[in-house]
Amino acid sequence: MNRLRGDSVGLIMLSAGRRIAIASILVAALWALFFWATSTPGGL
Amino acid sequence: MWELLFQPFVDFGFMRRALLGCVAVSVGATPLGVFLMLRRMSLTGDAMAHAILPGAAVGYLVSGLSLGAMTIGGLIAGMAVALLSGYVTRMTSLREDASLAAFYLISLALGVLIISTRGSNVDLMHVLFGSVLALDNAALTLLCVIASLSLFMLALFFRPLVLECADSQFLRSVSRLSAVSHFIFLTLVVMNLVGGFHALGTLMAVGIMILPAAAASFWTTRISGLIALAAAIALLASYSGLLLSYHYSLPTGPAIILVAGAFYLVSVVFGIQGGIVQQTRTVSAVEI
């Protein structure tokens, strides 16, 4: 833990709303991948 | 090159499903692995991964290879071990690592006993080593829901979680969120391990959580960088492991974890934040 530096330009400086916005983008990408993987026909 | 790297995922549905399962585990579990590592709780994750086994086994006994029953059983067993070991630590002179080790060993033995007496060796192998190439829609939905929930909860409780890592006494003195964030963190760890065991098995689920985090710690000391790099390593290890498994007919879970292990070993040697080469150069410079 003593190696962990401050995060002056990172996630910790963002408001919770902005972090949730970033999380929403990642979640949207994950579910887009879900629909691609489960709906595209082909193979087994 | 296209055929080597992308064709398996274009041609085969089971490869796409495996990739999605691995991506979900990577984005959900790896950031938690970073926090586990920063809290010096890496082995706690391993213990919890084993602790979910009897719950999954009871779920299996009740309704066969049912996703819901095994998930709920695993969640209950994992949370029970976490809470019981915490209770014993507070009420006795035993330290937390010892009480957790005791409970997880009892839990693991109980799980293997239940599965062995009522199931077959194939069932035991399924629970211990997962079946990432056989993920159905229900399992994938579960993995994606757990990953989504993890991302949203991490976004919401990011500051308390970081403060808990840096100075838990300070967090306790300035906020009531300490206990809440700790409980949410443990719940997320158990949920991700339960999700991960469907894909990678109880023995390997913790690997995708800890190895990328440990590898990333040799390259950056910023927490945002650690999370991003750990997730990137987990994704790359998953993709490479799936391809290796496909082209060389290797078992998928171990292939993914071994690639993550290779990233870790390379980082141990060449990492710019305390890697062996960097440490050796620093010592040489001091001697000169």
Interface check for B20 against chain A (CB to CB < 8 A): the answer is: yes
Q: Do A7 and B159 touch (CB under 8 A)?
A: no
- The radius of gyration of chain A from alpha carbons, rounded to an integer in Å, stands at 17
Q: What is the pLDDT of residue B288?
A: 64
Q: Give the pTM.
A: 0.86
Residue A28 lies in a domain: yes
B122 φψ region: left (φ > 0), alpha (ψ -120 to 50), beta (else): alpha
What fold does the segment set B2-203 form as a domain? ABC transporter involved in vitamin B12 uptake, BtuC (1.10.3470)
Residues of B in contact with A26 (CB under 8 A): 27, 151
Dihedral (C-alpha) B246, B249, B253, B256: value to the nearest 10 degrees?
-60
How many angstroms separate the CA atoms of B27 and A38, rounded? 19
CB–CB of B139/B198 below 8 Å? Answer: yes
Interface test with B, best of A3, A4, A36 (most B CBs within 10 A): A4
Sorted by where each begins, the domain ranges of chain B are 2-203
Q: Do B151 and A27 touch (CB under 8 A)?
A: yes
Widest Cα–Cα separation across chain A? 51
Q: Which amino acid is at B35?
A: F
* A38 — pLDDT class (breaks 50, 70, 90): confident
Report the residue of chain B nearest A43, measured CA to CA: B12
Residue A33 lies in a domain: yes
Q: What is the pLDDT of residue A43?
A: 45
Interface check for B147 against chain A (CB to CB < 8 A): the answer is: yes
CA B266 to chain centre: 20
Taking Cα atoms as reference points, which of A32, A44, A19 lies closest to residue B144? A32
What is the residue range of A8's domain? 2-39
Phi, psi of B64 (to 5 degrees): 65, -155
pLDDT digits (tens, 9 = 90+) for B132-174: 888 888 889 999 999 999 999 999 989 888 888 877 777 778 7
Give the number of other CB atoms < 10 A from CB of residue B254.
18
Buried/exposed code over B187-211 (b: 16+ C-beta within 10 A; e: otherwise): bbbbbbbbbbbbbbbbbbbbbbbbb
Taking Cα atoms as reference points, which of B43, B273, B42, B39 lies closest to residue B167? B39
Q: Which amino acid is at B173?
A: S
Q: Do B144 and A34 touch (CB under 8 A)?
A: yes
Q: Do B20 and A22 touch (CB under 8 A)?
A: no
Percent of chain A with pLDDT over 70: 57
Residues of B in contact with A20 (CB under 8 A): 152, 155-156
Residue A44 lies in a domain: no
Taking Cα atoms as reference points, which of B4, B39, B7, B36 lies closest to residue B192? B36
Residue A29 lies in a domain: yes
A10 → closest Cβ in B11, B166, B223: B223
Give the number of other CB atoms < 10 A from CB of residue B26.
28
CB–CB of B18/B132 below 8 Å? Answer: yes
Q: Which residue has the tokens 């695993």?
A: B74
Where is pLDDT greater, at B119 or A20?
A20
Residue A13 lies in a domain: yes
CA quadruple B166, B33, B128, B63: dihedral positive or negative?
positive
Q: Do B152 and A1 touch (CB under 8 A)?
A: no
Number of domains in chain A: 1
Q: Do B155 and A20 touch (CB under 8 A)?
A: yes
Please list the ranges in chain B whose pLDDT falls under 70: 65, 119-124, 127, 288
Interface check for B144 against chain A (CB to CB < 8 A): the answer is: yes
Q: Do A7 and B162 touch (CB under 8 A)?
A: yes
Interface check for B14 against chain A (CB to CB < 8 A): the answer is: yes
ipTM above 0.90, yes or no: no
Residue A6 lies in a domain: yes
Q: How many CA atoms, within 13 angstroms, populate the side-chain half-sphere of residue B194?
A: 29
Interface check for B184 against chain A (CB to CB < 8 A): the answer is: no
